[in-house]
Structures are given as structure tokens and as C-alpha cells.
Amino acid sequence: MKVLSIITQKGGAGKTTIATALAVAAQKDGKEVAILDLDDQATACFWGDVRQDNPLPVKDIKAVRLPHVLEALKEAGCDLVILDCPAVHRDIAMDAASPSDFVLIPTRADVFDFRSMRQTVDLMKSVEQPCAVVLNFVPPVGQEVADAREGVKSLGIALCPVELHQRKAYARAQQQGLTAQEAEPSSLAASEIAGLYAYTRMQLEEESTHVAIASSA
């Protein structure tokens, strides 16, 4: 079983949108998937509540129960667990990062989000977790996007090659308990999620390879 965490210290970075979209993409890829919502706002749970077709397990849990719930999901044959984490809470971020095989750090391309993203990057480095920053809500034009790309590279952390743009398809889908690739399968948003899922899956598979090599060494 693989664990993917979506973590950033800034609210409004699109963590839940990314978590739900990747969960649905994995489900369509034949994976047994579950989302664990560690945020008191329970946005992922509300998304799951209004979702009607192709139900997907979304559980609202406290971080202290995370090891127990992960073990239960592993025994139940789950392939992928996605942790949707709250903003600001450093301790919860640490709890989520610890069992994770890979961490995505979403951020907007503006100075305030970038500052918070740096805090999350430092946190992931402190626990030596493989991670990558993904630019979200990317505007169609503006120097700040190029500056954000260069800023991420200067931190010595991976920058996801797939960027999620500021598209209405994401918000429209969330309101229906859907994801962009379900509500508007031919949209640019759907294409972006397909690319992000392919990238994330590759990172998780590479982590498995590294573990296997280390075990046989």
C-alpha cells in the first residue's frame, strides 16, 4: 500500500481539489483508494457526501488515529491512501509526512503562498521525505509564475512538471462531488489532472524500487 500526502502550511492552496482528483484518477486506474481527511473543516468529507456515482471512501479522522487507520486499510487491501492535511498545523503535517511514500506541496505563485510553501519544504526536509512542489491556480500570464518556478528550484526541491491552472472546471466539479476529469473529461483541467496523476504514480513507483534495491543490498 502506498501513502500520498497533500501538505502545505497555507490555506486555499487547493489541497482537497488535488486530493480528490488524484483519488478518482487512481480509482479509474484500477486501484483501491481511500482519502483520509485530517482537516477539521472536513472539505473532502463534504465532497464525498454529495458524491453519488462511483463512491469513494473518505474518512474524517484525527491525526492520533492515523497509524491505526492506515494499518486497517492495508489489511483491507487498499492500494493507495491519500492524506488531505490541514493548513498551519505543523504537528499534523509531521504526523502525515512520517508514513508517506511521497508528498505533494501545492502552492499558488504569489509571495505569501511561496513563503508558506518554504516552511513546508523545510519541514519535509527535516523528516527526509520525498516530495515535490506543484504550482496550482496558475494564471494565464504574469511574471510571478516564472519567478515561482525559479524560486522552487532555488530551494533544492523537485518542481512537478505539471501545473494546474486557474480553471472554472475544478470548482464546478467539486460542488457536485465530482472531479474535473469526470465532469468535463475533454477539458484542459482533465488533461492536467491526468498528467499530475501520471507524475505522482511514477514517484510512488520509484520509491518502491528504491526500497526494493535497499532491501537486497
Break the chain down into helix, strand, coil percent, rounded to 5: 50, 15, 35
Provide the domain limits for residue 106: 2-216
Distance (Å, whole) CA 111 – CA 161:
20
pTM of the predicted structure, to 2 decimals: 0.91
CA nearest 206: which of 130, 143, 139?
Answer: 130
- What CATH number has the domain bearing residue 102? 3.40.50.300
Q: Which pLDDT score, from 0 to 100, does residue 216 have?
A: 35
CA nearest 76: which of 60, 63, 93, 59?
Answer: 59
User: Sorting pLDDT into bands at 50, 70 and 90, what band is 166?
Assistant: very high
| Model confidence pLDDT, tens digit, residues 89-104 | 788 989 999 999 999 9
CA nearest 20: which of 58, 54, 53, 50?
Answer: 58
Q: Which pLDDT score, from 0 to 100, does residue 207 have?
A: 57
| Model confidence pLDDT, tens digit, residues 101-144 | 999 999 998 877 887 888 889 888 888 889 999 999 999 887 88
| Model confidence pLDDT, tens digit, residues 32-77 | 999 999 999 999 999 999 998 778 999 999 999 999 999 999 999 9
How far does Cα 167 stand from its chain's mean position?
18
Q: Which pLDDT score, from 0 to 100, does residue 214 have?
A: 35
Total tally of structural domains belonging to the chain: 1
